[in-house]
């Protein structure tokens, strides 16, 4: 009882994975440059209330404080960005920059005084986007991706609370809000994928179409003479 898989889907998933992996590799390259120089990543972070800190709205997701910080975000970025772009590519083109900019701007406006850096706002935005849009769209692909990200990263919800010092829960919170809002507004941006057909469905249709059709036939000649 196998399904008919389209090679184009596999090819597109491979392209998405390669593209996301390239983006993650860029983050490692950037952090390597910081590690080899005396430049502090905090210089590119979001610093709330400071005019010079506005640059961090664009640059903060690209820099990380430690190798551990970067490694933790890299795995989540690889999975969540791939799920988001593969599942809803048209919506993702809008949602990704909105999550990036909106979360950073909200941090600049409302967060506590500190240098907020890292891609955590993006990961929270993508996780909430994939999960909520799966609930709203309810097609098999979206639901499967929503369950996958919730199973892997559902515990991220605790990061929305100020439970750990030195962690920008504000970035997490505003990223999640931006992702959830984008999911609601862009839920119909992508067409629903065609339903996969199973072999038994095709066999049943062939049997139905092969049945003899019954027509009214005139009685035999000897019956007409009676």
Give the tens place of pLDDT for each residue, 7-66. Answer: 778 888 999 999 999 999 999 999 999 999 988 899 999 999 999 999 999 999 999 999
- The answer for residues whose C-beta is within 8 angstroms of residue 74's C-beta and 6 or more apart is 24, 27, 28
pLDDT in tens, 162-209: 988 889 999 999 999 999 999 999 999 999 877 666 565 566 566 666
Q: For the chain, how big is the Rg over CA atoms in Å?
A: 26
Q: Report the half-sphere exposure of 124 (CA within 13 A, side-chain side).
A: 26
Domains and CATH numbers, the chain: 7-189 (1.20.1540.10)
- H helices of the chain, in order, are 7-36, 56-59, 67-87, 89-110, 120-137, 140-153, 169-185, 199-210, 221-224
Structure tokens at 205: 């249709």
Give the rounded percent of residues in the chain with a pLDDT score beyond 70.
83
CA distance linking residue 126 with residue 123, whole number of Å: 5
Report which DSSP code applies to 187: T
Question: Please, are residues 114 and 168 in contact by the beta-carbon 8 Å criterion?
Answer: yes
* pLDDT of amino acid 226: 45
Q: State the virtual CA torsion across 35, 118, 56, 113 in degrees, nearest 10.
A: -110
113-139: average pLDDT = 95
Residue 83 pLDDT exceeds 70:
yes
* 79 alpha-carbon distance from chain centroid: 8
Question: Please, are residues 77 and 120 in contact by the beta-carbon 8 Å criterion?
Answer: no
């Amino acid at each position: 009882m196998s399904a008919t898989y389209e090679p184009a889907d596999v090819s597109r998933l491979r392209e998405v994975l390669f593209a996301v992996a390239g983006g993650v590799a860029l983050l490692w390259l950037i952090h390597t440059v910081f590690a080899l120089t005396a430049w502090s990543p905090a210089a590119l972070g979001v610093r709330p209330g400071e005019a010079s800190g506005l640059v961090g709205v664009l640059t903060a997701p690209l820099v990380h404080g430690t190798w551990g910080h970067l490694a933790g975000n890299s795995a989540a970025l690889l999975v969540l960005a791939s799920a988001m772009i593969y599942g809803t590519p048209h919506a993702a083109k809008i949602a990704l920059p909105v999550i990036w900019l909106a979360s950073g701007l909200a941090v600049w406006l409302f967060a506590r005084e500190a240098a907020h850096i890292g891609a955590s706002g993006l990961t929270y935005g993508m996780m909430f986007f994939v999960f909520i849009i799966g609930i709203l769209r309810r097609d098999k692909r979206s639901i499967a991706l929503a369950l996958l990200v919730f199973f892997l990263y559902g515990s991220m919800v605790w990061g929305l609370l100020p439970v750990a010092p030195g962690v920008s829960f504000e970035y997490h919170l505003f990223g999640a809000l931006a992702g959830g809002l984008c999911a609601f507004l862009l839920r119909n941006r992508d067409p629903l994928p065609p339903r996969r057909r199973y072999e038994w469905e095709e066999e049943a249709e062939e049997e139905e179409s092969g049945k003899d059709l019954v027509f009214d036939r005139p009685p035999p000649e000897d019956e007409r003479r009676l």
